[in-house]
Amino acid sequence: MSETVVSIHNAKIYQGGSLILDDVNFSVNKGEFVYLVGKTGTGKSSLLKTLYGELPLTEGSASVVGFNLRDMDWKKVPFLRRNLGVVFQDFQLLTDRNVHENLRFVLKATGWQDEKLIEEKINDVLDKVGLKSKGFKMPFEMSGGEQQRVDIARALLNSPKLILADEPTGNLDPETSDEIMQLLIQIARDYGTAVIMATHDFIVINRYPSRILKTEKGKVMDSAAV
């Protein structure tokens, strides 16, 4: 039986005081690749924010990488996030330092101290995303696709069981989008990391078909349940 990485039951997702999604039920297993789709304003971002602890869960139950979301408080959120990788559309790299120092900053911030292990980890994740020789480059010297690969490398630093990717191909041309998709699918397949990817890009979905969660009219529809 596969390890469950995300499990949500009868959850209500609120943004501010407004109920955004009602009666949310789904689970995601180790190594599974899942799309999260839905029109703007239907709750995709609110669902992602709930999964990584930015929005509190006050009704229903949910477990993410072994953490009970009902039991989350500001002290526990950093520990949840150490077990997650989050990939953003706009990369959010530190522009004043090179790729290697971007990754080192995250490791130091999450408690890594052994310099040898830090170097090994940085080399390992850059190798996984095909940027082993690019650690010296500044973000502005890189293409959008390369910056997105750095973002994915950063998400892999703490060997997460789950990556949450928010429109990771949104700012990329079709060819680069293909490369990023193949990389994320490979990470799920080869390392057993579950990936939940929010996207509007149906060309990508059609090219790389997988399970789909869809936010619509206050609900989350699951293609696996049909």
| pLDDT by position in tens, the chain (length 226) | 679 999 999 999 998 889 999 999 999 999 999 999 999 889 999 999 999 999 999 999 999 999 999 999 889 988 898 899 999 777 789 999 999 999 999 999 888 999 999 999 999 999 999 999 999 999 999 999 999 999 999 999 989 999 999 999 988 899 999 999 999 999 999 999 999 999 988 999 999 999 999 999 999 999 987 6
Which pairing describes strands 194-198 and 33-37: parallel, antiparallel, or unpaired? parallel
State the distance between the two ends of the chain, measured CA to CA, in whole angstroms. 21
Report angle CA 175, 88, 166 to the nearest 5 degrees: 80
User: Which domains are assigned to the chain?
Assistant: 4-13+20-225 (3.40.50.300)
Report angle CA 150, 156, 159 to the nearest 5 degrees: 165
Q: What is the pLDDT of residue 17?
A: 87
Kindly report whether the global pTM for this prediction surpasses the value 0.85: yes
Q: What is the pLDDT of residue 226?
A: 62
Instruction: Quote the tokens at residue 169.
Output: 């191909």
The whole-angstrom separation of Cα 128 and Cα 37 is 27
In sequence order, the β-bridge partners of residue 26 are 8
DSSP the chain: -PPEEEEEEEEEEEETTEEEEEEEEEEEETT-EEEEE--TTSSHHHHHHHHTTSS---EEEEEETTEEGGG--TTTHHHHHHTEEEE-TT----TTS-HHHHHHHHHHHTT---HHHHHHHHHHHHHHTT-TT-TT--GGGS-HHHHHHHHHHHHHTT--SEEEEESTTTTS-HHHHHHHHHHHHHHHHHH--EEEEE---HHHHHHS--EEEEEETTEEEEGGG-
The whole-angstrom separation of Cα 163 and Cα 194 is 6
Report angle CA 81, 85, 91 to the nearest 5 degrees: 115
Instruction: Quote the tokens at residue 115.
Output: 């310099």
The whole-angstrom separation of Cα 16 and Cα 120 is 42
Q: What is the pLDDT of residue 116?
A: 96
